Structure 1
C-alpha cells in the first residue's frame, strides 16, 4: 500500500458507529487518505473501502465464538496476510479485542504503527489482557475518563478522547420529533425493546423482552412497543419472535435505534453500548442479558465489578436494574420496569444523573481521535 493508506478493523454495529465519526474527521483533515479494512455501513459512508463487513465479527460469548472459530480464524489469517504483504501506514483496531489484539501484535512486530480505539474493559474483567495490549498497541484511545490511568505504567500511550456518542446525542432529546419521525402516537407510554446487535443476543433476549413487554401492556403501563432491528441479517429472527405476539402494539423499525431511544419512555436493553446510549438519551432502562449455558459457566467468576451496565459502572453504583442469565425472566423484567415507572422521583433523579454523565463524556471526540492518529503517523 502507499503511505496514504490506513487500515481499520471494527467489529459489530457499535464499533462501526464509533469509527464512522472518527473516519469523517480523519478524511476532513487528510482528504487524500485511503482507508481500507473491515467495517459496516457507517464506516463505508465515511470513506472506508470494506474488504469484509463488520457484522461478520459479531459474536456473543464463548459458545458462539467456538461455533464460528474456523471462520474467524480464517478471516484474521487472510487479513493478516494481506496487510503484511502490502503494509498500511497505520493500523487502527476498533474495539473487538479478541479479534484485533492478536492481529495488532503481529503487525506491530513488523513496524506498523498500531492504535486501538476503545480500551478493552480490563477494569471490569480479564485483566491479564494488559500484557497482550502492551505488546500489541502503541496508542490506546480511551472513551472513559478513568481509563488512561490504567496504562500509566505499561508503556502504552493512552489518551482520553471522550465518547463519540456523547457528542452525537443531544443533551435534550426531542421525544415528540422522534415519535413523529417513527409514526408513533404523540401521547401514551412507549417501550423500546433493544435486544442487541448480535445474532446470539437476539436469540437469547428477544423472547423474554417481548414477553415482558406484553406484561407491561397488559398492566396498562405501556401502550406502544418499538423494536429497532440492528441490521438486515437479524430481521427474520425478530419477525419470528414478533409473530408470537400478534396482539401486541408492536412496531418493527429497520435501524434508527437512536430515534427509538429518543421516542421511548423506558427501554428493555441488552448489556453493552446501548445501555450508555439510553443513558445519554436520559431514558430509564432495565438491563437484561443471557448467554448460552456453556458461555455463562466459562465467563462466571472472571469479572471484577459488581455491575455490567455502563451507566452503573460509570456511576459507581447501581442506578438501573440489571437482570442477568437466570434472573432475566419476563416477569422479573416487567416488575423492574413497573417499579421504575411508578416512582416519578426516582425517574427525575435518573435523568439528572444521566445529564451529568453526558457532560463528563462530551468532548470533540472525533477531532481528538483524528488528531491523535495523525500525530502518531508522523515520522
Structure 2
C-alpha cells in the first residue's frame, strides 16, 4: 500500500481496439485524479497515449475479427505478444492490471497475473448475457473485480460469485444529452436544410472488407431515389485506404464526403446513419439518431456466432431497449437493396411519420439518462477498493 499512500500508482492496461482505447482513456482520467503521480504501461492507442500511457505495443496489434481464418492467421503473433507482455508485467509487478474489453486476449492474461498475486480488474463485462455464457467461469478465475457499463450486469455476475460495480457508460457523459446539430453541420460544411446520411462501415479492416462496398452500393440506390442527399463517411487512418477503395469500386466516390475521424460530429449532424454493429451503434443512440444496423463476417465465423447467440438482438440499442427499435440486417440479409430500403424508410418518416422518429428519440433519451454516471470517479473508487482488499 506504499504506492497508494504516496499518491502513486503503477497500473498496466490493455485495450485492443478503437472503442477500448476511448474507454481506457476516460478511465485513466479518473485514475489520474485519484493518483496524480500514476504511471501507466501496456497496450493502447492515441487516447491512452494522451493520458500518459507508455505503449509497449499499439492497440491495432490486437484488432482481429471473427472466429475462423481471420483469427488463425494472426494467432501466433497475438499469442507471442501476450507471452512477452506477461513476462514484462511479472517482472515489473504493477499494483493493478486493467484489461479493457478484448476478453479473448485479456482474460487469459488476467488469470495468469492473478495467480501470481497481481490485482486484476476487467473493464467492460464480457457479454455473457448475449452469447458465450460459458465464459463466466473464466471470468471468476481471472479477475478480482469487473467494472460494468450496463446497469443489469453486476447482479448477473454476483449470481456467479464475481464482484462487480456498475460505473455507467463513459460515452453517456462524453455525448451531450441534446446534441448541437446545427453546429455539427456547420463544422462539416453542411446546411441546416440538407438531408444527411452518415455511413459508418466499421473501425477494423475486416469490417471494411465485408461491409464498406455493400454500404456504398446501398448509398448509390439511395442517391438514385434522393439525388440531393449528402453522404458523410468518417474514417480513422487505419482503414481509410480500404474505405476509399470501396468508394471507387462502388462508383460513389464523387458523392461521398470521406473525412478523417470526427465520427461524433458526423453522428450529431446526420438525419440517419447506416452503421456497422458495435459500440458505434450505442454512440448513434446517444446522439438520438435513427439508424440501420448491419453486419457481415466470414461464413464460418457467422455459423459459430449464431449458435452461441442468446438473444434475438445483435445491435446494442436493441439489446438495451429489449426490442427492435431500429432494424438489423445481418449476413445474407444485408444486401445493398435491403440496406437502402431501410434507410429510405427513416428518411421518408421524417416527413410522413415524425411521431415515429420522436418516439425513437424518447427511448434513446431515457437510455442516455440510465447510462449517465460519473464513470471515471466510480471506476477509480472501485479500483481503490480492490487495492485495499
Same fold (TM over 0.5): yes
Structure 2 gap segments, 5+ residues each:
4-8
User: What TM-score comes out, normalization by structure 2 length?
Assistant: 0.94
Q: C-alpha displacement at 1:246, in angstroms?
A: 4.4
| Residue 49 of structure 2: aligned partner | 44
2-side partners of 1:198 and 1:191: how far apart? 21
SS in 2 for 1:123: coil
| Residue 81 of structure 1: aligned partner | 87
Matched, 1:359 2:347: no
Q: Which stretch has the larger CA shift, 14-23 or 216-225? A: 216-225
Q: C-alpha displacement at 1:222, in angstroms?
A: 5.7
Matched, 1:297 2:303: yes
| Residue 339 of structure 1: aligned partner | 345
Q: C-alpha displacement at 1:146, in angstroms?
A: 0.6
Matched, 1:349 2:355: no
Matched, 1:166 2:196: no
Question: Once the two structures are superposed, what CA deviation does each residue of 1:218-270 show, in whole Å capped at 9, x if it has no partner?
Answer: 1117611111113x121111111112324642111111111111011110111
| Residue 236 of structure 1: aligned partner | 241
Q: C-alpha displacement at 1:298, in angstroms?
A: 2.4
Contact 2:101 2:123 in 1 (8 A): yes
2-side partners of 1:170 and 1:298: how far apart? 37
1-side partners of 2:325 and 2:231: how far apart? 23
Question: Once the two structures are superposed, what CA deviation does each residue of 1:178-219 show, in whole Å capped at 9, x if it has no partner?
Answer: 111122333211111111111100110001111111111211
Q: Which stretch has the larger CA shift, 24-33 or 314-323? A: 24-33
Q: C-alpha displacement at 1:29, in angstroms?
A: 1.8
Q: C-alpha displacement at 1:87, in angstroms?
A: 1.3
1-side partners of 2:276 and 2:28: how far apart? 27
**CA separation of 1:304 and 1:187: change in aligned 2, threshold 3 A:** same
Q: Which stretch has the larger CA shift, 133-142 or 19-28? A: 19-28
| Residue 61 of structure 1: aligned partner | 66
| Residue 32 of structure 2: aligned partner | 27
Contact 2:247 2:253 in 1 (8 A): no
| Residue 193 of structure 1: aligned partner | 199
Contact 1:229 1:235 in 2 (8 A): yes
Contact 2:10 2:94 in 1 (8 A): yes
Structure 1 gap segments, 5+ residues each:
none
Matched, 1:112 2:122: no
| Residue 329 of structure 1: aligned partner | 335
Q: C-alpha displacement at 1:153, in angstroms?
A: 2.8
Q: C-alpha displacement at 1:91, in angstroms?
A: 0.3
Alignment: residue pair count = 377
| Residue 6 of structure 2: aligned partner | none
| Residue 14 of structure 2: aligned partner | 9
Contact 1:24 1:47 in 2 (8 A): no
**CA separation of 1:222 and 1:132: change in aligned 2, threshold 3 A:** farther
SS in 2 for 1:62: coil
User: What TM-score comes out, normalization by structure 1 length?
Assistant: 0.97
**CA separation of 1:143 and 1:221: change in aligned 2, threshold 3 A:** farther
2-side partners of 1:247 and 1:104: how far apart? 45
Q: C-alpha displacement at 1:46, in angstroms?
A: 1.2
2-side partners of 1:319 and 1:56: how far apart? 35
1-side partners of 2:211 and 2:301: how far apart? 15
| Residue 151 of structure 1: aligned partner | 157
SS in 2 for 1:349: helix
